[in-house]
Amino acid sequence: MNKNFWKNKKVLITGHTGIKGSWLSIWLHSLGAKVIGYALDPPSLQSLFEVSNIGKEIVSIHGDIRDLKHLQSVYEKYQPEIIIHMAAQALVRESYLNPVETYDTNVMGTVKVLEAARYVESVRVIVAVTSDKCYENREWHWGYRENEAMGGYDPYSSSKGCSELVASAFRRSFFSNASENQKQPIYLATVRAGNVICGGDWAKDRLVPDLMQAFLDKRKAVIRYPEAIRPWQHVLEPLAGYLMLAEKLWNQGSIFEGGWNFGANDTDARPVSWIAEQLSSLCEGRLQWETSSDPQPHEATYLKLDCSKSRNLLGWSPVLNLSMALQWVVEWYTAYDKGKNMLQETRNEIKRYESLF
């Protein structure tokens, strides 16, 4: 990744108050980018966005991606060059409770983010973030490639597959060639990653946030699906891939369009119970957990990505093993518990990550 590329680039991040968006905002700001964030309030009472105060360092706009008129006015005012679309309803269990809102946000929200970009001459690159769950999951023991069928059992996963189809249609119909509204092509790619872990995440119904909140509260955590296997990765791993891809789109254009996987190493696909045990050990026994006895909605047992395309064409690959990633997570929450400056702590972690590649 060429860090100098981002200096003074005008980057609009939708969903900058979410966990990925907050980490990315801090990273891009430290690289000298002019960051414009567009999002609703943080998705949880506590959040990295709030505890880091990154909103005071960037342009932070409260807005709903389903509000096309407002989006258009923001694009016109700030003239972004690169859009990284992250705003979404991001939880499987929430999608069972609110399927209409999930589809409205994840599908029509994507439509409006892309539609608004058609009429702004400054936009050159769009990276739309979806999910590994966009694939039709057949519980295979090999990774899904970018050309596999879209699908999804639950509303969240299905909505992400739909979002991929929306992006493909806009790319081929409007963005691939300059039109009456566009003086130059807009290069669009979609990116798919697995379960990310990191400090600063307090989202409900996620394993690591639930465990670390229990650690901070000095209570026993309750986990679901202890035998479910997930490919775990530190949040900076896929974010590095997104940034590398955006740079390639800017410099080399259409050959880097389409879908891209940024998943964990095969060795980092571990059961939920293993993660809980590892975190308990890293917390020196101060974290205890038990399995929920309540009935749970369907979630995939196993899903992983084939990242050969990203490795071979982008030169991207994970640089943190899972044990190190978990150690960094515990260190972040421990620093938070001690009242440290969490913007600086997060920046330090990003610098430590940058030193690895």
Rounded to an integer, what distance in angstroms lies between the CA atom of residue 213 and that of residue 209? Answer: 6
Q: Three-class SS string for 215-246?
A: HHHCCCEEECCCCCEEEEEECHHHHHHHHHHH
Chain-centroid distance, C-alpha 305: 15
Q: Residue 41 maps to which CATH number?
A: 3.40.50.720
In which band, very low, low, confident or very high, does the pLDDT at 301 lie, cut at 50, 70 and 90? low
Rounded to an integer, what distance in angstroms lies between the CA atom of residue 345 and that of residue 354? Answer: 14
In which band, very low, low, confident or very high, does the pLDDT at 34 lie, cut at 50, 70 and 90? very high
In which band, very low, low, confident or very high, does the pLDDT at 182 lie, cut at 50, 70 and 90? low
Neighbours of 138 (CB within 10 A): 12
Specify whether the CB–CB gap between 180 and 300 falls below 8 A.
no
Taking 80 as the threshold, does the pLDDT of residue 160 lie above it?
yes
Taking 60 as the threshold, does the pLDDT of residue 179 lie above it?
no
Report, as an integer, the average pLDDT of 125-146.
88
The one-letter amino acid code at 72 reads Q
Distance of CA 78 to CAs 34, 37, 59, 179, 256, Å?
A: 10, 11, 10, 22, 26
Q: Which domain holds residue 292?
A: 3-354
Specify whether the CB–CB gap between 115 and 99 falls below 8 A.
no
In which band, very low, low, confident or very high, does the pLDDT at 181 lie, cut at 50, 70 and 90? low
Q: What is the pLDDT of residues 217-250, one digit of tens each?
A: 999 998 888 888 888 999 999 999 999 999 999 9
Distance of CA 332 to CAs 42, 60, 219, Å?
A: 19, 24, 19
Domain count, the chain: 1
Q: Is the dihedral of CA 333, 336, 337, 338 positive or negative?
A: positive
Distance of CA 88 to CAs 8, 24, 70, 238, 277, Å?
A: 27, 15, 17, 17, 30
User: Which two three-digit tokens encode residue 257?
Assistant: 């369009």
Rounded to an integer, what distance in angstroms lies between the CA atom of residue 197 and that of residue 93? Answer: 18
Taking 70 as the threshold, does the pLDDT of residue 272 lie above it?
yes
- The residue with greater pLDDT, 47 or 141, is 47
- The residue with greater pLDDT, 329 or 182, is 329
Rounded to an integer, what distance in angstroms lies between the CA atom of residue 120 and that of residue 227? Answer: 48
Specify whether the CB–CB gap between 288 and 342 falls below 8 A.
no
Smallest CA-to-CA distance from 146 within 125, 167, 176, 174 is with 167
Q: Which residues of 306-325 are buried (b: 16+ CB within 10 A; e: fewer)?
A: bbebbeeebebebbbebeeb
Report, as an integer, the average pLDDT of 330-338.
96
Specify whether the CB–CB gap between 357 and 319 falls below 8 A.
yes
**Which residue, chain included where needed, has tokens 């972004």?**
80
**Which residue, chain included where needed, has tokens 């567009």?**
38
- The residue with greater pLDDT, 120 or 204, is 120
pLDDT at 269: 86
Burial of 338: CB neighbours in 10 Å, binned 0-12, 13-18, 19+: exposed
Specify whether the CB–CB gap between 11 and 39 falls below 8 A.
no
284 phi-psi bin (left φ>0, alpha ψ -120 to 50, beta other) = left
